[in-house]
C-alpha cells in the first residue's frame, strides 16, 4: 500500500505567488482521476500530465464529465469561499445543498451581534425606510435586553454562575471562562428570537465543483434578488479557475463545447409551474373527499408523525404541500382528486415534470416516500439548526405568521414576553403590507421567533443521529423539544427500532 497526498486546500494568497497559477487549478486532479479506469499508468503520472497540459485537461473534463455523463468526477475538485454580508434568509437557500458541501457560520448563539442587516433591493425607497425602522426596533430589543437575559441565566443556574464568578475573581480571561461564556451564550441565543431574517451573517463555505454548479444554476432563478446576486458572484469567482467543471452554468461555453443550447428550463420554470398546478387544483376542487380519505397521523403538540405508505400518494401530497401553505392533512384531500380519476395522476406527473431535462434531478419532493415522516411547526431559529441535518428530506413552506411565534422561557421569566410579542406583531404587520408587492422578499421583515411548517422524511439511522445530538443535555432548548417530540412519536410507531434513542450523554445508561 502507498498513500500519497494528491492535493489540499491552501490560501489563495499563496497560490498567487506561483510563477504559473494555471497549474493550481483543481481541474487537474479531476481529469487525472477521470482517466484512472482506462489508463494503465499510475495516478501520480496522470496528475503530472494533467498539470503540464491544462488546456488539454479542460477538454478532457468536458468530454468525460458532460459528454459521457460521469458528473461525479467534478466532485474531486473543491472550492472554499469566504461569504460576508449575506442575510439569514438568503443563507437558507444557499445551505439547501446537502451533499458535497460544508458550512461554518458565525453563530448568533456565541457572538454578540451589532445590528447589521441586509436591505432588500426589491423594496422601494419609502418602504426601505419603513423596513429600516422595524429592524432597528428588533435590534433594540436584542441590545437592550441582553444584559437582563444574562442576569436571568445567572439566577436560574447558580452552580454555573458561581463557577463563572470564581473564574473571574482569579482573573481568568473572558474567552477562557467557559462557565461565563455558557451563561452569556444562553442569553444571546434567546435574545436573537427578536432579530430579523435580514440580519447579516458570515460563513466559511466549501463546495465540490458539482455542488457549486448546482448552487449557481438553482439560485440564478431564485425569487430573491440577493440569491441571484450570490449566484452570479460564485460564478464570476470560479469561472476562470475551473471553467471545464462548471460548464453547465455558462450557456455560451456550453453551446461552444457541445453545439447545442443549454437547457435551463428546469431551474427557470419547474418551481413556479408546480405552484401554478397546485393553485389550479385548490381552486377547482369544489367537494370534500370521502371521510375515509384521511392521512394516518399521530400527534405530539406541533409535531405530526405521518404514517402513510403509498408512494404515489405521498409524493403528490408532498408536491402540493411544498408548493402551497396547506397542512399535510389538507394536501392529502387534494391528492385524492389527483389520483382518483382515470389518467389524472399520470397527467399530474407529466405536467409537474415537463421542464426536466437529461441533466436534471427530479424535484426533491420525490424523496418523500418511505422512512419516518413528520409535519413540524417550528421557529426560524429552530429551523436554522434542523436544516443542518442534510441526510434527510426537509421540505419547508414559506414563513407563515399565522402559525405564531416561539417565545423563550427566559424572556417570559424576566417579563419581556409582551415586548417581544409587540416586535413580532409589528414585524408581521409590515410583512403583510409588503407581501403583495415583494412576495418572498417580504419575509425579511420576520424574526427568528416566527414559525413555518416543514415536512421531514428521515430514515431511522439519521433519526438516531438527530436524537444523539439534539436530545443531548447540551442541545439548544428549542430544537431539543422538537427532537423529543419526534422521537416519542417514532417510539410509538417502532418501539423496538428506537429503544436505544436518546441524547449521547444518556447513551450508556440507555444501553
2 occurs within a structural domain: yes
**How far is residue 462's CA from residue 493's CA, in Å, rounded to a whole number?**
16
> Is residue 74 scored above 90 in pLDDT?
no
> Is residue 501 scored above 90 in pLDDT?
no
Q: Which residues contact 174 (CB under 8 A, 6 or more apart)?
A: 180, 181
**How far is residue 483's CA from residue 33's CA, in Å, rounded to a whole number?**
41
> Is residue 204 scored above 80 in pLDDT?
yes
46 occurs within a structural domain: yes
36 occurs within a structural domain: yes
Question: What pLDDT, on the 0 to 100 scale, is given for residue 394?
Answer: 95
Q: What is the pLDDT of residues 19-50, one digit of tens each?
A: 777 677 777 777 777 676 667 888 788 778 87
- Percentage above 70 pLDDT, the chain: 92
Q: What is the mean pLDDT of residues 11-23?
A: 79
CB 63 within 8 Å of CB 258: no
Q: What is the pLDDT of residues 330-372, one digit of tens each?
A: 999 899 888 887 788 888 988 998 998 766 778 889 888 778 8
- 110, three cell numbers: 456565541
**How far is residue 400's CA from residue 237's CA, in Å, rounded to a whole number?**
35
Q: Is residue 269 classed exposed, middle or buried when 0-12, 13-18 and 19+ CB atoms within 10 A define those classes?
A: middle
111 occurs within a structural domain: no
Question: CA–CA distance from 19 to each of 6, 47, 52, 65 (Å)?
Answer: 20, 19, 14, 29
CB 340 within 8 Å of CB 287: no
The parent domain of residue 53 ranges over: 1-74
Q: What is the pLDDT of residues 175-201, one digit of tens each?
A: 899 999 999 999 999 999 999 999 999
330 occurs within a structural domain: yes
- The model's confidence at residue 231, banded by pLDDT at 50, 70 and 90, is very high
Decide which of 481 and 74 is more confident: 481
**How far is residue 397's CA from residue 399's CA, in Å, rounded to a whole number?**
6
Q: What is the mean pLDDT of residues 205-226?
A: 92
Question: What pLDDT, on the 0 to 100 scale, is given for residue 462?
Answer: 87
* Domain edge (last residue) among 356, 386, 402: 356
* Domain edge (last residue) among 322, 356, 390: 356
- The model's confidence at residue 380, banded by pLDDT at 50, 70 and 90, is very high
Q: What is the mean pLDDT of residues 445-454?
A: 98
Give the 3-state secondary structure of residue 87.
strand
Q: What's the mean per-residue pLDDT of the chain?
A: 87
Question: What pLDDT, on the 0 to 100 scale, is given for residue 449?
Answer: 97
- The model's confidence at residue 111, banded by pLDDT at 50, 70 and 90, is low
- The model's confidence at residue 240, banded by pLDDT at 50, 70 and 90, is confident
pTM across the whole model: 0.78
DSSP 302-337: TEEEE----HHHHHHHHHHHHTSS--HHHHHHHHHH
Q: Which of 17-26, 479-488, 500-509 is the most confident on average?
A: 479-488
Q: What is the pLDDT of residues 382-434, one digit of tens each?
A: 999 999 887 899 999 999 999 999 999 999 999 999 999 999 999 999 999 99
Q: What is the pLDDT of residues 118-173, one digit of tens each?
A: 999 999 999 999 999 999 999 999 999 999 999 999 999 999 999 999 999 999 99
Q: Is residue 268 classed exposed, middle or buried when 0-12, 13-18 and 19+ CB atoms within 10 A define those classes?
A: middle
> Is residue 65 scored above 70 in pLDDT?
no
* Domain edge (last residue) among 338, 356, 374: 356
> Is residue 480 scored above 80 in pLDDT?
yes
55 occurs within a structural domain: yes
82 occurs within a structural domain: no
DSSP 49-77: HHHH-HHHHHHHHIIIIIIS--GGGGGG-
DSSP 401-431: GGG-B---HHHHHTT-HHHHHHHHHHHHHHH
- Percentage above 90 pLDDT, the chain: 50
- In the beta sheet, which residues pair with residue 31? none
> Is residue 249 scored above 80 in pLDDT?
yes
Domain count, the chain: 2
Question: CA–CA distance from 201 to each of 84, 86, 91 (Å)?
Answer: 6, 5, 8
274 occurs within a structural domain: yes
Question: What pLDDT, on the 0 to 100 scale, is given for residue 366?
Answer: 87
CA atoms in the 13 A half-sphere facing the CB of 316: 27
Q: What is the mean pLDDT of residues 2-14?
A: 72
Question: What pLDDT, on the 0 to 100 scale, is given for residue 5?
Answer: 63
Residue whose entry in the numeric block shows the C-alpha cell 439560485: 219
Question: What pLDDT, on the 0 to 100 scale, is given for residue 21?
Answer: 72
Q: What is the pLDDT of residues 77-107, one digit of tens each?
A: 888 899 999 999 999 999 998 888 988 887 6
Question: What pLDDT, on the 0 to 100 scale, is given for residue 253?
Answer: 74
- The model's confidence at residue 10, banded by pLDDT at 50, 70 and 90, is confident
Q: Provide the angle, in degrees to the nearest 10, between the axes of the packed helices 54-61 and 27-34.
A: 60
**How far is residue 449's CA from residue 435's CA, in Å, rounded to a whole number?**
19
**How far is residue 44's CA from residue 54's CA, in Å, rounded to a whole number?**
16
Amino acid at each position: 500500500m502507498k498513500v500519497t497526498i494528491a492535493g489540499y486546500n491552501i490560501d489563495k494568497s499563496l497560490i498567487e505567488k506561483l510563477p504559473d497559477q494555471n497549474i493550481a487549478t483543481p481541474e487537474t486532479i479531476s481529469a487525472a482521476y477521470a482517466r484512472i479506469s482506462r489508463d494503465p499508468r499510475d495516478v501520480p503520472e496522470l496528475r503530472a500530465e494533467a498539470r503540464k497540459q491544462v488546456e488539454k485537461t479542460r477538454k478532457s473534463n468536458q468530454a468525460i464529465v458532460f459528454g459521457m455523463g460521469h458528473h461525479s468526477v467534478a466532485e474531486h475538485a473543491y472550492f472554499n469561499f469566504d461569504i460576508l454580508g449575506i442575510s439569514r434568509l438568503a443563507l437558507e437557500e444557499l445551505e439547501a445543498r446537502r451533499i458535497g458541501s460544508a458550512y461554518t457560520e458565525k453563530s448568533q448563539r456565541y457572538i454578540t451581534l451589532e445590528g447589521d442587516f441586509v436591505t432588500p433591493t426589491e423594496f422601494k425607497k419609502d418602504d426601505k425606510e419603513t423596513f429600516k425602522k422595524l429592524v432597528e426596533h428588533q435590534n433594540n430589543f436584542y441590545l437592550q435586553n441582553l444584559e437582563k437575559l444574562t442576569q436571568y441565566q445567572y439566577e436560574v443556574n447558580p452552580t454555573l454562575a458561581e463557577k463563572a464568578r470564581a473564574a473571574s475573581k482569579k482573573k481568568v480571561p473572558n474567552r477562557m471562562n467557559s462557565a461565563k461564556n455558557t451563561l452569556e451564550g444562553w442569553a444571546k441565543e434567546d435574545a436573537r428570537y427578536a432579530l430579523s431574517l435580514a440580519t447579516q451573517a458570515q460563513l466559511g463555505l466549501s463546495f465540490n465543483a458539482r455542488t457549486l454548479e448546482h448552487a449557481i444554476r438553482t439560485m440564478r432563478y431564485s425569487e430573491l434578488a440577493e440569491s441571484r446576486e450570490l449566484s452570479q458572484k460564485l460564478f464570476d469567482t470560479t469561472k476562470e479557475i475551473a471553467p471545464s467543471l462548471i460548464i453547465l452554468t455558462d450557456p455560451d461555453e456550453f453551446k461552444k463545447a457541445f453545439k447545442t443550447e443549454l437547457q435551463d428550463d428546469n431551474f427557470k420554470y419547474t418551481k413556479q409551474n408546480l405552484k401554478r398546478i397546485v393553485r389550479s387544483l385548490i381552486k377547482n376542487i369544489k367537494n370534500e373527499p370521502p371521510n375515509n380519505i384521511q392521512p394516518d397521523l399521530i400527534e405530539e403538540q406541533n409535531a405530526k408523525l405521518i404514517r402513510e405508505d403509498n408512494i404515489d400518494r405521498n409524493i403528490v401530497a408532498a408536491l402540493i404541500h411544498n408548493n402551497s401553505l396547506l397542512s399535510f392533512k389538507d394536501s392529502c384531500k387534494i391528492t385524492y382528486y389527483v389520483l382518483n380519476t382515470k389518467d389524472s395522476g399520470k397527467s399530474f406527473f407529466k405536467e409537474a415534470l415537463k421542464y426536466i431535462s437529461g441533466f436534471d434531478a427530479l424535484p426533491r419532493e420525490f424523496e418523500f416516500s418511505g422512512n419516518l415522516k413528520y409535519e413540524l411547526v417550528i421557529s426560524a431559529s429552530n429551523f436554522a439548526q434542523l436544516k443542518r441535518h442534510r441526510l434527510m428530506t426537509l421540505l419547508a413552506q414559506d414563513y407563515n405568521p399565522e402559525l405564531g411565534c416561539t417565545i423563550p422561557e427566559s424572556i417570559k421569566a424576566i417579563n419581556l414576553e409582551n415586548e417581544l410579542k409587540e416586535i413580532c406583531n409589528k414585524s408581521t404587520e409590515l410583512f403583510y403590507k409588503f407581501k403583495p408587492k415583494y412576495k418572498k422578499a417580504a419575509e425579511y421583515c420576520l424574526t427568528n421567533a416566527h414559525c413555518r411548517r416543514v415536512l421531514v422524511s428521515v430514515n431511522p439511522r439519521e433519526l438516531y443521529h438527530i436524537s444523539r445530538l439534539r436530545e443531548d443535555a447540551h442541545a439548544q432548548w428549542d430544537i431539543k423539544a422538537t427532537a423529543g417530540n419526534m422521537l416519542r412519536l417514532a417510539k410509538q410507531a417502532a418501539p423496538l427500532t428506537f429503544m436505544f434513542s436518546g441524547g449521547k450523554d444518556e447513551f450508556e445508561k440507555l444501553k
